[in-house]
Structures are given as C-alpha cells and as structure tokens.
Amino acid sequence: MSDDLPIRPRSARVPLDADVTFWRDGNHGEGQVRNLSATGFFTETEHPVPVGARLEISFRLPNDRSGKIVTGEAIVVRSARDPHPGFGARFFRIPRAAATMIEEFLVRAARRRA
C-alpha cells in the first residue's frame, strides 16, 4: 500500500511566495509558487512548461521551521504568459506527509485571514 494520497478537491487558494524547483524529463526549472491550494498551485517562472506536462516538484512552505520540504508530482493544467509568465498545476501524486503539511498550512492561513 502506498503512502501517497489522492488530493481532495478544494478551491481555496492562499497567496504564497516560495521558491520552487521542478523537474521534467531530467531537466530542471525554478520559479516562485504564487498561490497554493490543497489541489494545486500557480508558479511564476521564465521556464516554459506545456499543458499536460508531468512534473516532479519541491518547495518549502513559509514560516515552517521543521525544515521539511514538500515534494511530489504535479500535472500542468494551464499556462500563463502575461502579466506573469508561469503555469498552474494540479497535484498528481503527493506523499501523505506533504499533503498533511499543505493542509495544516492552509488551515493556519485561513485562521490568519479570519
């Protein structure tokens, strides 16, 4: 049995400014995660990635002192050029620990906004 969890649909997005590294077919790119939800994220980057591309991703959540890194796989679902080039991606496969980190981060962000 795998520790990977399917990501449940949710629409609440939280603004974010986190460095992200992504890999596709052995090539890597970098960018900034600009928003995050339980189902995906938007990355601002100068590295073009086509819709449908499957990526390995790695980033740290802000203010997380544990040193843990969110890692997993995502599929690009939209591409953006202006005003901020980048891509929107949906989590495809993510370890249980990473999904929990994201969920806890989103709960804390919602509390701060309330």
Domain ranges in the chain?
10-113
Task: Single out the residue of 44, 52, 47 nearest to residue 92, CA to CA.
Answer: 52
pLDDT band of residue 72 (cuts 50, 70, 90) is very high
The CATH code belonging to domain 10-113 is 2.40.10.220
pLDDT in tens, 20-51: 999 999 999 999 999 999 999 999 999 989 99
pTM of the model: 0.85
Percent of the chain with pLDDT over 90: 68
Rounded Cα–Cα distance for residues 37 and 2 (Å): 23
Distances (CA, A) of 114 to 17, 66, 107: 20, 25, 11
Give the per-residue pLDDT at 7: 47
Whether 70 contacts 61, CB under 8 Å: yes
Give the per-residue pLDDT at 89: 97
pLDDT in tens, 93-105: 999 999 999 999 9
